[in-house]
Amino acid sequence: MNRALRIIFSRYGIIVIILVLVLGVIALANRRQETPLDGTNGVDSSEGEATSEGLREDDGFATEECEGDGCFTDAELPEEAVETAVEFAEAWLNPDGRSAQGWHDSIEPFLTSDSADAMEGVDPETVPAEEVVGEATAEGLKVSVPLDTGTLTLTMVEGSNPWTENGWLVSAIDWEQS
């Protein structure tokens, strides 16, 4: 038993263990690529048990699924949501020249928890604009804020985070340069 443990925990044993783990991960990754992503779970749709709308190419835009009474997809967002989007845009532009952490702290109250986590560590120097130059417009759940070098499009959701109780929050940020 001691000899087996010495072999396993020697540098050669550890190398073999790491090699086996790497090969296992590669095998699982290859298996996952072979699995159809069409929702049939391996069932032949010609048998009539499962159907598929087919794969859709990801356009790169974040979308929010909406269910229940809180959906505003066919109606205009309330003015409160648009105002929150504009306030976020003004903080996002970092007019006060805050440090990365100070900037993150200033935009965090406007973001969903997931969005705030995604923005952690972002350098405010990478913000591609300096000022709001027009009126914000709402379409569905999205608010477009015209800036000096493009348009900031914010997806708004009603919810809460550690700083805001039940209000409008930014769940996705999209930038289109003009």
- The 10s digit of each residue's pLDDT in 56-86 is 454 455 555 555 445 544 567 899 999 999 9
Which residues constitute the domain of residue 157?
79-177
Q: Does residue 56 belong to any structural domain of this protein?
A: no
Q: Does residue 42 belong to any structural domain of this protein?
A: no
In the block, which residue shows the tokens 């038993």?
A: 1
pLDDT at 129 over 60: yes
Whether 92 and 170 share a structural domain: yes
Q: Does residue 119 belong to any structural domain of this protein?
A: yes
Domains identified in the chain, total number: 2
Q: Does residue 64 belong to any structural domain of this protein?
A: no
Q: Does residue 67 belong to any structural domain of this protein?
A: no
Whether 83 and 165 share a structural domain: yes
pLDDT digits (tens, 9 = 90+) for 16-48: 899 999 998 888 887 765 544 444 444 444 444
In the block, which residue shows the tokens 């200033």?
A: 106
**What is d(CA 54, CA 38) in angstroms, rounded to the nearest whole number?**
6
Q: Does residue 49 belong to any structural domain of this protein?
A: no
In the block, which residue shows the tokens 């205009």?
A: 76
Whether 31 and 87 share a structural domain: no
Q: Does residue 151 belong to any structural domain of this protein?
A: yes
Whether 85 and 169 share a structural domain: yes
Q: Is the dihedral of CA 22, 23, 28, 32 positive or negative?
A: positive
Q: Does residue 72 belong to any structural domain of this protein?
A: no
pLDDT digits (tens, 9 = 90+) for 145-175: 999 999 999 999 998 877 777 789 999 999 9
Instruction: Supply φ then ψ for residue 37, to 5 degrees.
Output: -100, 20
